[in-house]
Amino acid sequence: MHANHAQEIDGAVRAAMHALKQAGATLLNQAVLLAGVNDSLAALKALSTALWQAAILPYYLHLLDPVRGTGHFEVSETLARELMGELAACLPGYLVPRLVRESAGESAKRVIAPTPRNP
């Protein structure tokens, strides 16, 4: 699944995902961290919760690839790490996606460790 915001997961999506789950499919989500879309603790928590209610595990949260014309959606790695630390502090581990970055030439996604926000 590729959902970036909880509002993308409605009753029809939940029904379809539950049917796939009943058929034996493993359901994982990958999302992209997007400024102004899902770059807050509330949005990420709502996304993880909505995914879980649709029988989907939040698996990856990607940092934006540097593509021309998308800079206005970019979230800094520092903020991304802080958000992941906050998310890990308020949700069970299975609802916290891996924060990753894809880089040209690397054989796999690079997992970025969360850093808790200072009070």
Q: Max CA-CA distance within the chain?
A: 45
Positions in the chain whose pLDDT score sits under 70? 113-119
What percent of the chain is predicted at pLDDT more than 90? Answer: 77
The domain limits of the chain are 6-111
- Could you give phi then psi for residue 76, rounded to 5 degrees? -65, 150
How confident is the model at residue 113, as a pLDDT? Answer: 62
Which token pair is 117? 């926000």
How confident is the model at residue 15, as a pLDDT? Answer: 97
How confident is the model at residue 23, as a pLDDT? Answer: 98
How confident is the model at residue 119, as a pLDDT? Answer: 46
Highest CATH level, class, for 6-111: alpha beta
The whole model's pTM is what?
0.89
Which token pair is 25? 């499919």
